[in-house]
Structure formats: structure tokens, C-alpha cells
Amino acid sequence: MSDYTIFIGLLALYIGSLIGIGLYYNKKQKSSIDFFLAGRELGALSIGFSAAASWLTAGALLAVTGFFMLLGMGSIWGFVAPNIIALLVIALFVKKLKQLPAVTQPELLEMRYGGSLRGPVAVIITIVMILFTVADIKGFSMVLEIFYGLDPLYSVLIVGAAVALYVNLGGFSAVVFTDRIQFLMLFLFVMVMAVMTTGAASNGDATLTFSKMMSDVPGSWYNPFSIGLPMVLIFTLSIVPGWISEQDPWQKVWAAKDEAAARNGMIIGAVLVTLVFGGCAVIAVALNNIYPDIAAAGFPMGMAKAEPALLVFIKSSGFSKFGLALCAVGLATAAMSCADTFATSGASCISRDLFQRYIRPDGDEKDVMWINRLSVLFIIGAATACSYFIKNIIEAIHIATFIASASYFFPLMGGLFWKRATREGAVAGLITGATVQIALVIMDLVKTPPMAPAWLETISPILSGHGVIVGMLASAIAFVSFSLVTEEVEEEQLELFFKTR
């Protein structure tokens, strides 16, 4: 029996179990709230596992390990720290969010400002979710290409078909339940890889040689500020706002049974994410001992080899056919655990905020759920097309994050915490930020040569991250300026958000 046949067999068993979960929850669905928010009955552990699994894509896992190899702890500000910080910040907002009877962020914005923002924000969130899904597809494509020499199309078919089936059957309840399984499999994979790479790096017992290996690492590797405080601030200001305002963790807050479950769930998620990335750091140190030429190449030149280094190690380590298949399935679960969340989040905007709000306001819940199922397929298909144009895994995640940060972060957070925010200010901030940021991203991608530092970054460090600081600043100025010069919002409209009476 071939390696690939064994992998397909194990994957079929796993996907079959996910479909079974979807069928189980399909019978429990009585309304669209059951489909979109799991009936608002989720506990802290369910939210915590789902929050962690949703932000631990297979591609990001490989990319983070590569960054640790080349930049050490200084690399945490590009992905790791923003993940953890964002979940903890959202935990602080839980009381505010839970008092709002919203299902999606565009719906919340309509409650706050009126109908002008709901459609445009729904479109932007859908685009962001598509770009996040690209990272999952590309990460799993890399797994199948290195392990089995398969064309990227196969990863699309596997991830897309599996996610579409169990999400469309079981809705958000199926997503959350399967996220528990997928996180545990991913966590087990990372811990096993940490032990195996450590053992291979020292040609001995990993448990005995771990401390020696870590002590041999240069002290600069452990310095989280090795990239310089200005760059730390730039990364934090450019990435964290986008992830704070990302819809899928808010969806989990609204799906929680109470404030305590939502708050504790976000904190648990942050802890679980920290544990997995800690395992990635250990793997990176071991891989640097195994492949010293990669670290010597430096960043960004070494990234092309650092990103797939763990997969190369697995492939060359003499794993049995069954062991290799288990590793592939473990990474497939990571891809699915993120893709299902992103597809669900984006589909809810299409079905509820676009279709139900503008196209068929008189449509019943069955119509909305049907469109939602089709929207899941659309998001997977669109992500597939984008994956052929976006080559870098973290690049896809960052582009999505920067667009979110620059477009609707200020209208969204300002609407929650600033009474003087107005519809005109929100619209101005959204249009200005989105236009500037998308233009900067396109300009940077076009003008940056392959494997070279970003063109905008070579002009000034402030323009790092496709100039997102500029995009956010433009959005903030437009939002505040137009809010201050336009008529204040009536007290009745603010009552839900600020309890003015």
C-alpha cells in the first residue's frame, strides 16, 4: 500500500467523523441563531479551544517556526504576540460586547450608525476571511507537496470539501466542537515534534539533552526586543488592532452562554496559543542545530527554506508510512480548524448582512441558511483562486489584518466607546482607510523584488507592514474629523451602547 493511499485512508476516517459531528448538530438546529451562534450556549472551555484552534493555522505554524529559526524571540511581534494580546484585549471587552444583541459586526455597526456601513463592512470582512483562508490552503499545500509530491489543487479539494461538508451540516456548533478535536491533535503533533527534533539535534535522548541545547543558543536569540523597540511598536500598532477587530472571536463572545464563559474562554485561548507557540520555539532551536545553513542565510533570504524546514525534517527522518500519514493528518486538522472558522464568519456576513438585509429582507430563515451554505463554498473557492497569486503564508494573513486595521477598526471601536462618533465619521474613516491601505498594499507588492525587503519598508521603518500605520492614521483622522464636524447622534440611538438612561 502506498504512502498516499494510507494518508487518504486515515484522512477519510477523520473527515467521516467530522461529517458525523455535523449531522449530529444539524438535528439540533431550530433557528438561524442555532446555526450562526450555536444557540448562545457555549461554555468557557469550548470557546477557549475554538479561539486557539481558529488562530493556529497549519501555514502559520510552519511560518512561525521559520521566523523563530531566523530571528529568535524578536520575531514574536510579527505573529505570536499579537495573537495572544488580541485575545486578552477582547476578554476585557466582553461585558460591552455581550450586552449588544448582534450576530455579526456589520449588524452591530448598523445598530450604532444606521444602515450606511453594514454592506461595505460585510464586503470587507468577507475579503479578509478569504485572505485568511488562503493561508490555510497554502500551508496544507506545502505539506502535501513535500510529503507526497502532490499538486496544490489536491489540498484545496481536501480542505475545501471537508470544511464545506461539516460546516454546512452543523453550523457554528460543529465548528466549535471539531475545533476541540483539531486543537488537541495539533498540540499533540507540536509536542511530539519538539521531542523528536530535540533528540535528532543532539543524537541522543531529547529529555536529557534539551537543557543543553537551549543553553547553547546565543543570548540574543532569547531577546524579544532584538528587532528594536521602534519595530516592536510598529508591529504591535499595525497587527493587534486588526486582530482585536476580527469578527470570528467576537462571534465566539456572542455565542457564549454568559459573560464569564466568554471572558474566561478568551483567556484560556490565549494560554493554549502560548503553549503551542512555545513548542514551535523549541522545534526552531532544534532545527537550527540540524540545518545550520538555514539560520546562516539570515532573514529574509533564509525564509524560503526555514518555512518548510519541519516538513523536510519529517520527510527525511525515516518515518513509517503510517507515521508520515499521521503527521499529514495532524497538519490537515490545523488547516481545517482555521478554514472552518473563517468560512463561517465570512459566510455569515454574506448571508445575513448582504442577502437578508439588502436582497431578500422578507426571506425566511431557511433561505438565509441556504445562502450561508453556498457562501461557505464561495469563500473556499475564492481563497483557492487567491492562493495562486499570494506566495507567502504570513503575507496573506498580514494583508488581511492590515486591511481590517486600516478600514473598520476605528469606526468599530469608536462606535463602542466614543459617544461623539457619528455615521459620517464612520463612513469617512472606513472609505479613507480602506482606499489608502489597499493602494499601499498593491504598490508594495508590485514594487518589491522577489525575496527582497518590502519596498515601502526600505523607504522608512514607519512604512513597514505595507504602510499600515499610514493607512490607520488616515482612517483615524477622517473618522475623528468628520465625527466632530457633523451633528451628534441622538440619545435614543446611543442608549443600547452607553446606557444613557
Per-residue pLDDT tens over the stretch 260-289:
999 999 999 999 999 999 999 999 999 988
Q: Residue 448 falls within a domain, yes or no? A: yes
Q: Residue 451, SS3?
A: coil
Q: Residue 181 falls within a domain, yes or no? A: yes
Is the CB of residue 331 less than 8 Å from the CB of residue 393? Answer: no
Output the pLDDT for position 205: 54
Output the pLDDT for position 167: 66
Angle at 39 between CA 34 and CA 42, to 5 degrees: 130
Output the pLDDT for position 449: 84
Residue 66 sits in the same domain as residue 105: yes
Interaxial angle between packed helices 321-348 and 3-26, expressed in degrees from 0 to 180 and rounded to the nearest 10: 40
Residue 277 is classified by DSSP as H
Q: Provide the grid cell at 471.
A: 493607512
Residue 142 sits in the same domain as residue 182: yes
**Residues whose CB is less than 8 angstroms from the CB of residue 446 and which lie 6 or more positions away in sequence, other chains included:** none
Output the pLDDT for position 439: 93
Output the pLDDT for position 26: 66
β-bridge partners, 42: 256
pLDDT at residue 250 tops 60: yes
Arithmetic mean of pLDDT, 326-334? 80
Residue 137 sits in the same domain as residue 284: yes
Q: What is the DSSP string of 31-70?
A: SHHHHHHGGG-B-HHHHHHHHHHHT--HHHHHHHHHHHHH
Residue 305 sits in the same domain as residue 445: no
Round the CA-based radius of gyration of the chain to a whole number and report it: 22
Q: Residue 480 falls within a domain, yes or no? A: yes
Q: Provide the grid cell at 458.
A: 526600505
Number of domains in the chain: 2
Output the pLDDT for position 204: 56
pLDDT at residue 363 tops 80: no
Chain segment 111-134, per-residue pLDDT in tens: 898 878 888 889 888 888 888 887
Q: Residue 300 falls within a domain, yes or no? A: yes
Output the pLDDT for position 37: 66
Residue for cell digits 481536501?
158
Output the pLDDT for position 500: 46
Q: Count the alpha carbons within 13 Å of 284 in the hemisphere toward its beta carbon.
A: 28
Residue 435 sits in the same domain as residue 371: no
Residue for cell digits 508594495?
444
Q: Across the chain, what does the average pLDDT equal?
A: 83
Output the pLDDT for position 161: 72
pLDDT at residue 191 tops 70: yes
- Where in the sequence is the domain holding 476, given as residue range(s)? 408-501
Residue 178 sits in the same domain as residue 237: yes
Percent of the chain with pLDDT over 90: 20
Which of 38-42, 172-176, 253-257 has the highest mean predicted lDDT (pLDDT)? 253-257
Output the pLDDT for position 141: 76
Q: Residue 402 falls within a domain, yes or no? A: no
Residue 63 sits in the same domain as residue 212: yes
Is the CB of residue 139 less than 8 Å from the CB of residue 334? Answer: yes
CATH number at residue 320: 1.20.1730.10
Residue 329 sits in the same domain as residue 467: no
Output the pLDDT for position 103: 82
Residue 320 sits in the same domain as residue 438: no
Output the pLDDT for position 265: 94
At 484, the amino acid letter reads: L
Residue 274 sits in the same domain as residue 318: yes
Q: Residue 157 falls within a domain, yes or no? A: yes
* Residue from 367, 489, 408 nearest 108 by CA: 408
At 218, the amino acid letter reads: P
Q: Residue 395 falls within a domain, yes or no? A: no
Residue 268 sits in the same domain as residue 184: yes
Residue 496 sits in the same domain as residue 445: yes
Q: Provide the grid cell at 491.
A: 440619545
Output the pLDDT for position 501: 44
- Residue that is last in its domain, among 334, 363, 390: 390
Output the pLDDT for position 203: 67
Chain segment 397-412, per-residue pLDDT in tens: 778 778 888 888 999 9
Question: What is the pTM for the complete model shown?
Answer: 0.84
Name all contacts of 18-21 with Cβ < 8 Å and 24+ positions apart. 18/162, 18/165, 18/166, 18/174, 18/178, 18/336, 19/165, 19/166, 19/169, 21/166, 21/170, 21/174, 21/177, 21/178
pLDDT at residue 333 tops 60: yes
Q: Residue 401 falls within a domain, yes or no? A: no
Arithmetic mean of pLDDT, 220-246? 84
